[in-house]
Amino acid sequence: MRSSWLRALAAVCATVALAQAAEPQQQQGQVETLANGLKIEYVYTLDGCEPKSKINDMLTMHYTGKLVDGTKFDSSHDRDQPFTFQLGVGQVIKGWDLGLTKMCVGEKRRLTIPANLAYGDRGAGNVIPGGATLVFDVELLNVGDQAPTTNVFKEIDQDQDKQLSRDEVSEYLKKQMAAAEGAEGGDDIKQMMSDHEKLVEEIFQHEDKDKNGFISHDEFTGPKHDEL
């Protein structure tokens, strides 16, 4: 029987994919402002290109990040080293995960990202103050295949003790659901979020075979590497 864990992840991923598929082709020079405050300027676009970036793809980007007053705080160009990450899994700020979908290699965008989709009230180090709106000029250099062997177990296991607690599973699910909701996931995602605690308990009913309150690597049926 397929576990609640896998059903939950499948539902989240499917909802995000459907939300992205509905997006129209954007034209060069167009500026789009989403309901969450994210502004996307389509600086340079290509017609009829494939593939277009989507959730779980590995993207390689060049970027320059600035504050709204023009102060530069980071740039891959300065390091002469493009940045590679997996889209839509929380490896980057939410404004990137939401603003870099359906993008073609060679295209350029300017993202103006409000604090709630960036570093919030806490800021980041000494270079990004709390509550800051960020402006990123980005260029997509490469779109790679989806990562088929993502070690989800390791991503959830925050304290790296080789077993998953209820708190760790709960926090991971919250992040995945929040990402899907941000992509305008709709009523299905909202319902899962409202039933969040029930979902965690269902996962442990299926996965925690020895009923010790933790899910071991051997018990875990989600995506994982065998080596730890």
Mean pLDDT of 184-204: 68
The CA distance from 88 to 146, in Å, is 11
- What pLDDT shows up at residue 110? 98
Q: Are residues 39 and 136 in the same domain?
A: yes
Highest mean pLDDT among 3-17, 30-44, 198-212: 30-44
222 domain-assigned: no
Told to judge if 119 belongs to the known catalytic residues of this protein, a careful annotator would answer yes
27 domain-assigned: no
Q: Are residues 99 and 165 in the same domain?
A: no
> For residue range 159-177, what is the model confidence (pLDDT) as tens digits?
889 999 999 988 888 777 6
Q: Are residues 39 and 107 in the same domain?
A: yes
In Å, how far are 7, 26, 57, 71, 227 from 189, measured between CA atoms? 12, 26, 21, 38, 32
Amino acid identity, position 22: A
Say which of 42, 136, 204, 220 is annotated catalytic: 136
**Site of tokens 């959830």:** 156
Say which of 119, 153, 204, 214 is annotated catalytic: 119
Residue 204's CATH number: 1.10.238.10
Q: Are residues 164 and 200 in the same domain?
A: yes
Peptide bond preceding 148: is omega within 30 degrees of 0, i.e. cis?
no
177 domain-assigned: yes
- What pLDDT shows up at residue 39? 98
Residue 115's CATH number: 3.10.50.40
Told to judge if 74 belongs to the known catalytic residues of this protein, a careful annotator would answer yes
The CA distance from 220 to 215, in Å, is 6
Q: Is the Cβ–Cβ distance between 198 and 217 less than 8 Å?
A: no
28 vs 164, residue with greater confidence: 164
Say which of 40, 42, 57, 63 is annotated catalytic: 63
Told to judge if 93 belongs to the known catalytic residues of this protein, a careful annotator would answer yes
Q: Is the pLDDT of residue 192 over 70?
A: no
Q: What are phi and psi of 3, to 5 degrees?
A: -75, 160
Say which of 74, 85, 137, 188 is annotated catalytic: 74
Q: Are residues 121 and 157 in the same domain?
A: no
Q: Are residues 38 and 136 in the same domain?
A: yes
Told to judge if 73 belongs to the known catalytic residues of this protein, a careful annotator would answer yes
130 domain-assigned: yes
Told to judge if 63 belongs to the known catalytic residues of this protein, a careful annotator would answer yes
Q: Are residues 138 and 78 in the same domain?
A: yes
Q: Are residues 89 and 182 in the same domain?
A: no
Give the residue numbers spanning the domain of 212: 4-13+149-216
Lowest mean pLDDT among 2-11, 107-116, 132-141, 170-179: 2-11
Lowest mean pLDDT among 37-51, 126-140, 151-165, 214-228: 214-228
Q: Are residues 200 and 134 in the same domain?
A: no
190 vs 173, residue with greater confidence: 173
**Structural domain tally of the chain?**
2
Token readout for 160 is 């790296």
25 domain-assigned: no
- What pLDDT shows up at residue 35? 94
223 domain-assigned: no
Contacts 24+ apart (CB under 8 A), 78-82: 82/141
Across the chain, what does the average pLDDT equal?
A: 82
78 domain-assigned: yes
What predicted TM-score, i.e. pTM, was given to this entire model? 0.57
Among residues 93, 119, 144, the one where a domain terminates is 144
Mean pLDDT of 38-61: 91
Query: Would you give the distance in Å from CA 204 to the centre of its chain?
Result: 25
Torsion sign over Cα 83, 88, 92, 96: positive
Q: Are residues 85 and 139 in the same domain?
A: yes
